[in-house]
């Protein structure tokens, strides 16, 4: 595990958790120093959530953990975009820079129900695994490293299943004895787009996994060949 602005190394694995579950949505409060670990799916989608949480006077740290992204070239582009954003915002970010799509795909397929395993995994079931894998890695790392709360830029997306992400966050907060910083960041959609362009960040064309890439370019091809 790498971190900018100083050396931070640790493993995102492990099952340790704090006791005393706390369910919480909304701002985590400002009584005393509150450390929040924010999962960053990419640079553009992280701008508005990070800025919003910073307004709460919390100590905010980013966490780049996205084993879903494929291919390697795309993974590197999104990683570099997050590093650029971190420098612009003067933000400490912990980076999981290992590219391991095979393990992610195996885990996703193993999570599917028997009826969903035929052919290419459909969007709903495979996305559920993608949300939970990344959110749990964030909660686990936060719990093991002295954070009070966690959140995710996934709450900014207009295309993700917002309700499912919120429920997963709450459940993981219970499991790991953390607070879940929940806010509907979607009203800042255009603001995030505008800021990402002004900052010159790489803006991806598909969600991240190999299946979303196939679907994105399949739709593009069909549109181009339509009469």
Say what the pLDDT of residue 142 is.
98
Say what the pLDDT of residue 218 is.
64
CA 222 – CA 195 distance, rounded (Å): 32
Describe the strand order of the beta sheet including 179-180 as a list of residue ranges.
2-3, 92-95, 59-64, 35-39, 149-152, 179-180
Q: What's the whole-model pTM score? A: 0.82
Say what the pLDDT of residue 5 is.
56
Say what the pLDDT of residue 208 is.
82
Would you say 206 and 218 are in contact if contact means Cβ atoms under 8 Å apart?
Answer: no
Would you say 143 and 177 are in contact if contact means Cβ atoms under 8 Å apart?
Answer: yes
Q: What is the pLDDT of residues 76-93, one digit of tens each?
A: 999 999 999 999 999 999
Token representation of residue 124: 């709903």
The full set of domains in the chain, from first to last, is 2-225 (3.40.50.620)
Would you say 63 and 38 are in contact if contact means Cβ atoms under 8 Å apart?
Answer: yes
Tell me which residues of the chain have a pLDDT lower than 50: 6-25, 29-31, 221-226
The 8 Å CB, 24+ separation contacts for 116-124 are: 120/211, 120/214, 121/211, 123/211, 123/215, 124/161
Say what the pLDDT of residue 6 is.
33
Say what the pLDDT of residue 136 is.
98
> Alpha helix (H) ranges present in 26-149?
43-54, 72-89, 101-111, 123-144
Say what the pLDDT of residue 23 is.
38
Say what the pLDDT of residue 36 is.
97
Strand-pairing partners, residue 38, are 62, 151
Say what the pLDDT of residue 201 is.
98
């Amino acid at each position: 595990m790498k971190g900018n602005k100083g050396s931070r190394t640790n493993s995102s694995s492990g099952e340790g958790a704090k006791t005393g579950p706390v369910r919480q949505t909304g701002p985590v409060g400002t009584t005393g120093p509150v450390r929040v670990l924010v999962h960053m799916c990419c640079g553009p989608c992280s701008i508005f959530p990070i800025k919003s949480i910073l307004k709460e006077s919390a100590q905010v740290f980013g966490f780049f953990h996205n084993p879903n992204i494929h291919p390697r070239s795309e993974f590197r582009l999104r990683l570099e975009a997050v590093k650029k954003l971190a420098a612009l915002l003067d933000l400490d970010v912990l980076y999981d820079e290992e590219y391991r799509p095979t393990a992610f795909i195996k885990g996703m397929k193993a999570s599917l129900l028997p009826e969903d395993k035929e052919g290419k995994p459909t969007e709903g079931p495979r996305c559920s695994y993608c949300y939970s894998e990344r959110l749990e890695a964030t909660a686990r790392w936060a719990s093991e490293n002295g954070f009070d709360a966690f959140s995710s830029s996934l709450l900014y997306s207009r295309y993700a299943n917002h309700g499912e992400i919120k429920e997963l966050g709450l459940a993981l907060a219970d499991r790991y004895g953390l607070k879940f910083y929940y806010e509907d960041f979607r009203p800042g959609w255009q603001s995030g787009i505008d800021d990402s362009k002004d900052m010159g960040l790489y803006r991806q064309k598909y969600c991240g996994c190999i299946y979303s890439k196939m679907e994105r370019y399949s739709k593009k091809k069909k549109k181009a060949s339509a009469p």
